[in-house]
Chains A and B, each alone.
Chain A
């Protein structure tokens, strides 16, 4: 289908973008790559009165490692992050997760911040941000604030962003010495939405596992020194706690089984990485 009519503002600066949001109120939406929003607008699931395009704001088109984190500006595309030569060293989990984000053709326009702002429960980038304990930087005409990933994503396609705010950057904490990472997902085809995705961070007996695609948002759990059947029991408990449901892609039971299996595989892979 075709989108409903909307006014279009190509913002030249962050100030112009947040002024546009202030003026447009709840009916305004930010667009950067438009790979999720554009599809939802074509299907008329979202019908904004005003689109504020931030893709051309040079101040948001950046990637920098500073203050213990990799900070990604809101205009940086997923393809630019994936092709960055420092990715494997500076952000090993993203290096593993990024190839699963959409397809070559959608990563060319889709942005890193856009995926996080869209907050799909099965998306890889919100899961990576959650498991790394990252942050989201928000800006409005009246000020700015920074939220932890766990404070930002509230549910399915739902975040703590106020209507007059835009995401200007996200921050992925740097790997600490001794940490190792793994990423696993099961999808019908490579690049499709994950039925279940698992991201593991392991260091010196400590295990952190994040699961996407089951609950209404990526969910993270920490354990100390788990082995053998204790690990199986912990994963089983986690799988049930996530409260998955049946849909056209998979049953809740299948999703629980995937949590147990790829959760374990991700943890073992990270231990041997």
Chain B
């Protein structure tokens, strides 16, 4: 592969929530900024910008990752799933999202898109987690509203009601 110059904007194509999406990126453009500014997918939020808060968490090839610690050029050709892909349409909530609403697992909602993407990857790999495992997974997110208790209840609710969180519709 040729060296990509810092000066130029390079074409980047990703499969975003099952659909092809293209834009241009300098090597330094963070994946989350590419999603928001180039593609217009503003569901993923920018928080701390150094991988600590988890607000920007998206799934790349199925795995929950910080999109502020990944460059758009690194995502070229890969599958990216964001909160916009969770429901079938904008008014349709997954079992996990419904449980979040029911259990007051969000208040301001800033951290929620990232938390949902973490949980959806986590539950696919570990469909029957213990409360301790859920809390460990949530330790990778910072929420300043809820105190996390509602999130833990929402995940336990989804787990005990038989359904793992629904997968992004690209699958």
Contacts and interface: CB of A to CB of B under 8 A. Distances in A.
A8 B69 contact: no
Given A6-B6, A6-B27, A108 B69 contact: no
A109 B136 contact: no
B66 A35 contact: yes
B139 A190 contact: yes
Most buried by A among B3, B4, B7, B136: B3
Contact of B64 (A35, A83, A108): A108
Contacts of B135: 190
B68 interface: yes
Interface in A1-60: 1-12, 20, 34-35, 38-39, 42-43, 50-51, 53, 55
Contacts of B28: 2-6
A34 B3 contact: no
A223 interface: no
A50 B51 contact: no
A191 B51 contact: no
Nearest to B66: A105
B100 interface: no
Nearest to B74: A53
Interface residues of B, number: 37
B70 A109 contact: yes
A106 interface: yes
Contact of B26 (A5, A38, A53, A191): A5
A39 B34 CA distance: 17
Contacts of A10: 1, 73-74
A108 B63 contact: yes
Interface string B137-154: 101110000000000000
27 contacts: A2-B49, A5-B27, A6-B6, A6-B28, A7-B3, A8-B3, A8-B4, A9-B4, A10-B73, A10-B74, A12-B1, A20-B3, A34-B69, A39-B51, A42-B68, A55-B74, A102-B140, A104-B136, A104-B140, A105-B57, A105-B140, A106-B66, A106-B69, A108-B64, A108-B121, A189-B139, A190-B135
Interface of A: 1-12, 20, 34-35, 38-39, 42-43, 50-51, 53, 55, 79, 83, 99, 102-106, 108-109, 189-191
Q: 7 nearest interchain CB pairs? A: A103-B140, A8-B27, A5-B6, A38-B69, A39-B50, A105-B140, A108-B63
